[in-house]
Amino acid sequence: MKVLAIRVLLGAFVVALFFIPNFRLFEHDADNSFTIWMYGEAVGVVSKEDHADELLSRARKTMANRANTLVMLDPMDFSVVGEEKIFRATDSDREIVQNMVAVMENHHRKARRTAYSMKVRGLTVNMASSEDVHELLSRTIARYDTEGLYEVVMEKDENRDLNVLTATIRLKKEEELFYPYSGSGMALYQAEKACEDAYLLDFEEYALGLQSIGLSETIEVVEASVPADELLSVDEAMALLTEEQAVQQTYEVQPGDTLSGISLKLDIPMETIVQMNSEFMESVNSTIHVGQTLIITVPEPELAVEWVNREHYNETYEAEIEYVYNDDWFTTQKQVLQEPQAGYRELIADVHYSNDAEVSRDIIKQDVLMEAVPKIVEVGTKIPPTFIWPLSGGRISSYFGRRKSPTAGASSYHKGLDIATPTGSAVYASSGGVVTSAGWAGGYGYAVVIRHPDGHSTRYGHLSKILVSVGQSVAQGQTIAKSGSTGVSTGPHLHFEVIENGTQVDPLRFLR
């Protein structure tokens, strides 16, 4: 019974080898197992080499049916490697085809097609046809050319080797726009235009409205091959090119500028300007300096329409300020001789726009109905004197302004600078002038006061020795005294003041 059982099992095993398709008896004379490789990946094993090509064809058809369009792949990397095996396993045709399709999808090139590429600044827009480009530009200018006076013309650039189209905007043919005129009628029209340019027309005779229109950028269109999914519709391209984008620019601080004034001028919140310039600005109260460069972000479209509109209007206006120059005054001195009064006038002007923003105005004709009265200001021409550091060295021990009283009798509002220096240090005249006081001055101790040509005075206090007298003229940098600690003082130092219109001001505004 054991022998019979063994024989039955062996027979069943031999029969099974003939009916299991994935196993083959070993053949000694040739390769009997073939591995299929695609783009460096093994996708399956077959028993016959030529069966691999059949499966590749089926995989290609499957992929094309899924895409329902022309499929482009990377250059095909396909190979079949054979080897000899005693027992070999093969993969099913369905599994191999699925693996092939999966690998090919990873190497699928997007379908490309001929397109028209338009580059504006750093932005490239791809459109399906030159007609789409024409429609895009026509719709862009139509917002401002409401009467359809101008047209976009796409022309081949003969100076370029490649197929490059240039877009220009020009006035439509005269016979289309001015059809009532022909022959002598057109000559009459041209004569009227000449009179208009010569300021000979009345206000009612001027032709108002759009005078010219163009684009902010030169438009060149190149024929190219691009992926189909990168093509834009006319609406998408218009939104991309004409909607305002945040563009980083810079602004140089001008004389008289304040942060609030710059904010109003540029229509940017002060907090935003501070945030964009946080390297040197801490808050809206930070100080700005003439010549300083601020980073600003201004909304600006990639493509703008620049147009000129002739307008007729009345307005109040201000006359330019008139200056009377006085050579005996310093440039820091001025006096208003006449207050201004606004005038009233009727105008014809060509207003220049970039999209909806006004850029400038050119007055073509004006009639002043009420003359403006100018503001007249008398100003000095002489360069005012300069002020230098009144010591050789020294250290500021107390600044101008509020402070805690350093000793009994001292003020809690400091009206000058305290400069610590050893007793006997030379004290210099900060600026040239005439000595108006020299001697004991109460809490100042021994002190000297000098009046300068521009009306300012300087005071030097707590001196140990005075070297000048009242009425004496001194030059800038001349030694006028020796430092000390006389009067109300906590130690050797120089108390230095600048007096403007009878009031002490911060000396650091003047010193260099």
The structure tokens listed for 472 are: 């004496």
The structure tokens listed for 10 are: 């062996």
Instruction: In whole angstroms, give the CA distance from residue 483 to residue 464.
Output: 5
Rounded mean pLDDT, 165-177: 73
Residue of 114, 109, 139 lying closest to 126 (CA atoms): 114
Q: Are 325 and 382 in contact (CB under 8 A)?
A: no
**Residue 23 pairs with which residues in a beta bridge?**
none
- The length of the chain is 512
The structure tokens listed for 355 are: 């999209």
Instruction: In whole angstroms, give the CA distance from residue 416 to residue 505.
Output: 7
Which of the two residues, 300 and 274, has the higher pLDDT score? 274
**pLDDT-derived band at 183, boundaries 50, 70, 90:** very low
Q: Are 471 and 435 in contact (CB under 8 A)?
A: yes
The structure tokens listed for 205 are: 């005779």
Residue of 376, 338, 67, 372 lying closest to 228 (CA atoms): 67
HEC sequence for 198-219: CCCCCHHHCCCEEEEEEECCCE
Instruction: In whole angstroms, give the CA distance from residue 253 to residue 248.
Output: 16
Q: Residue 49: its pLDDT value, please?
A: 87
Q: Residue 142: its pLDDT value, please?
A: 92
Residue 432 has pLDDT above 80, yes or no: yes
pLDDT in tens, 107-161: 776 666 788 888 887 788 888 888 898 999 999 999 999 999 999 988 887 776 6
The structure tokens listed for 104 are: 């090919």
Instruction: In whole angstroms, give the CA distance from residue 434 to residue 449.
Output: 9
Q: Residue 160: its pLDDT value, please?
A: 67
Q: Which range is least confidently modeled, 71-75, 226-230, 241-245, 464-468?
A: 71-75
206 CB-contact burial (10 Å; exposed 0-12 / middle 13-18 / buried 19+): middle
**Residue 308 pairs with which residues in a beta bridge?**
212, 352
pLDDT in tens, 43-81: 999 988 889 999 999 988 888 777 665 666 767 888 999
Q: Are 475 and 375 in contact (CB under 8 A)?
A: no
pLDDT in tens, 460-487: 999 999 999 999 999 999 999 999 999 9
Residue 500 has pLDDT above 60, yes or no: yes
pTM of the model: 0.51
Rounded mean pLDDT, 317-342: 91
Q: Residue 90: its pLDDT value, please?
A: 86
Residue of 426, 482, 430, 481 lying closest to 451 (CA atoms): 430
Mean pLDDT (the chain) is 84
Query: Residue 206 phi/psi, 5° resolution?
Result: -75, 140
Q: How far is CA 176 from CA 151, 179, 189, 234, in A?
A: 12, 6, 14, 27
CA 408 to chain centre: 58
Rounded mean pLDDT, 284-312: 85
**Residue 497 pairs with which residues in a beta bridge?**
459
Query: Residue 236 phi/psi, 5° resolution?
Result: -65, -45
For the chain, domains (ranges, CATH) are 2-109 (no CATH), 114-232 (no CATH), 254-301 (3.10.350), 305-382 (2.20.230.10), 395-509 (2.70.70.10)
Rounded mean pLDDT, 383-390: 91
Q: Residue 439: its pLDDT value, please?
A: 95
